[in-house]
Amino acid sequence: MPESNLFGGLTGGLLIGLAAALLLLVNGRIAGISGIVGGLITANSLSERLWRGAFIIGLVCGAVIYAWFHGGLPLQLQTSNSGLLLAGLLVGFGTRLGSGCTSGHGVCGLGRRSPRSLAATATFIACGILTVYLTRHVF
Determine if 71 is a binding residue for another protein (CB under 8 A). no
Query: Smallest distance from the beta carbon of 79 to another protein, in angstroms?
Result: 5
Residues 7-66 that bind another protein (CB under 8 A): 8-31, 33-34, 37-38, 41-42, 47, 50-52, 54-66
Residues 105-134 that bind another protein (CB under 8 A): 105-116, 119-121, 123-133
Residues 89-108 that bind another protein (CB under 8 A): 89-99, 101-103, 105-108
Query: Smallest distance from the beta carbon of 41 to another protein, in angstroms?
Result: 7
Query: Smallest distance from the beta carbon of 46 to another protein, in angstroms?
Result: 11
Q: Taking Cα atoms as reference points, which of 57, 27, 52, 19 lies closest to residue 37?
A: 52
Query: Smallest distance from the beta carbon of 124 to another protein, in angstroms?
Result: 3
